[in-house]
Amino acid sequence: MKIDSSNMDQLAWAKQNGLIPAIVQDQITGELLMQAYMNQQSLEQTLNTGLVTFFSRSRQQLWQKGEESGNVLECSEIWSDCDNDSLKVLANPTGPVCHKGTQTCWDGSLQPSLAFLTELESVIEGRKGASSDSSYTAKLFERGTKYIAQKVGEEGVETALAATASDEEELLNESADLLYHLLVLLRSRDLSLMAVVETLKARHS
């Protein structure tokens, strides 16, 4: 069940003395970020402010994630499980999530493979405006969208040729080149891979 202010009272608050465990998941990468507890007041505050807020069992008070570090969690959606006694919070982190300074509280655990694409996208974004001597990506940005689009076309042809030649290793290499250049092309127009995914989802539905 997707949680909002109209149905939050349907959660099984009485099961655990008014507290419900909440697992935070990165909305884009799917990576698990942290786990804490919410009471009705912290859930309501999260829904009203858009910033994830928990209830501290040790301090017996509300605490907004990032209120000291500035690394807040921007809430996107909240869902309950089948028994309505735990929550999944989809959020966008603005910095390291763990109090130890790591990206997640499960630092070192295996990251979902596709999450690397968003990491790569962030690296690509960081190359915009950089000196063309600093990296190949910066050189692409300097030459402009038209040139990058041409590179995407070239890589598309090379990918197709590798497929027709039944060369699996070359197909993988050319596909990687194609995907990389496509990400650069999207960023050159201030678009993201997520926007492409949303377009695919809309078509699917």
Residue carrying structure tokens 């970020």? 33
Question: Using CA atoms, how far apart are residues 115 and 32, in angstroms rounded to an integer?
Answer: 11
Q: pLDDT value at position 101?
A: 86
Residue carrying structure tokens 């069940």? 1
Kindly list the domain boundaries of the chain, sorted by start residue.
Answer: 8-93, 115-204
User: Which of these CATH numbers, 3.40.50.720, 3.40.920.10, 2.40.50.140, 1.10.287.1080, describes 115-204?
Assistant: 1.10.287.1080
| pTM beyond cutoff 0.75 | no
Strand 61-64 and strand 53-56: the pairing is antiparallel
**CATH no. for 8-93:** 3.10.20.810
Secondary structure in 3-state letters for 82-96: CCCCCEEEEEEECCC
Q: pLDDT value at position 119?
A: 82
**Per-residue tens of pLDDT for the chain, all 205 residues:** 999 999 999 999 999 899 999 999 998 888 899 999 999 999 999 999 999 999 999 999 999 999 888 999 999 999 999 999 999 999 999 988 998 888 889 876 667 777 788 889 989 999 998 888 899 999 999 999 999 999 999 999 999 999 999 899 999 999 999 999 999 999 999 999 989 988 998 998 7
Most distant CA atoms of the chain, gap in Å: 65
